[in-house]
Structure 1
């Protein structure tokens, strides 16, 4: 693949780190749902954010099947309609895998604008499924969550790519 000028060559992603980050995002989601905010509609879905990140950066390792599995886990945790999160995460992961080659050509702030429609679509699907099952409208703050997720995209990118930016065997003559 041809790289953009100034783009750093990354080490291969460690599969253990990928799965560790996804499990940590799942645990943070669970803590946010049980913690101070409860199930506030505006709280960003950190698991969805990390799933999209890994679907964009490692589409051969993390894809639609992984998103479906984590969606079922979130459904069971929240007591939601079984398949609600699974459907929205699966659609979101499919969109991320479909656009991953094009997305990586943009700088990180522009990437956050590119992934915003994925987050909006995932939240809309979850809301429509909830409404079809007889739930109530969560209110307009529900649509703040995709915006917060898009704003967190640069932070997540820096955090999750940090282990890949180090040199494989650093020494005194090579500063990177």
Structure 2
């Protein structure tokens, strides 16, 4: 039973990886939400005993390898965000959905600023305001991600 639940969580993370790597038209690319991080945050809030920082680290490494970013950048940023959400899951779960979406926007802002800082340190990338568009789209998508994954979790009785 436990391995079945872990497999179902892994399947949802796999679909988030596919969504993150799926090609989009060039005009929509700056607005792409951070699907993987939001799915990881959902599972760390819903079932924190099943998804931990190590899982976030491994998924971040997969994302680094798949996207061609410097190895460890996504791992570190995912791990920090999941650490914060998992350590405060009892408080965050009690917030309403719109309050959670604002908090998710803050986490996504932290994620993007850490990504920028690491990429600036490693590759000399300069800041551009379009780096923050995924924060807004992620905040708006949080409602859908939360509701879809909650229905998925309840349907398969993932605990």
TM over 0.5: yes
Unaligned runs of 5+ in 2: none
1:106 aligns with 95
Give CA deviations for 1:69-120 in whole Å, capped at 9, x if unaligned: 1111111112111111111101111011012100111111111112221111
Q: Which has the higher helix share?
A: 2
Q: Which residue of 2 aligns with 1:130?
A: 119
2:78 equivalent in structure 1: 89
| Structure 1 segment 1-176 matched on structure 2, within 5 A | 14-31=5-22, 34-37=23-26, 40-137=29-126, 139-165=128-154
Contact 2:116–2:125 at 8 Å: present in 1 too? no
TM-score (norm 2): 0.87
Q: CA deviation at 1:43?
A: 1.5
Deviation at residue 61 of structure 1 after TM alignment = 0.5
SS at match of 2:91: helix
**Count of aligned residue pairs for this structure pair:** 154
Larger Rg: 1
Question: Does the C-alpha gap of structure 1 residues 38 and 138 become closer, same or farther in structure 2, counting only changes over 3 Å?
Answer: farther
CA 1:107–1:132 in structure 2 vs 1: closer, same or farther (change >3 Å)?
Answer: same
After TM superposition, give the deviation of residue 14 of structure 1 in Å: 3.4
Instruction: Provide the aligned C-alpha RMSD in A.
Output: 2.2
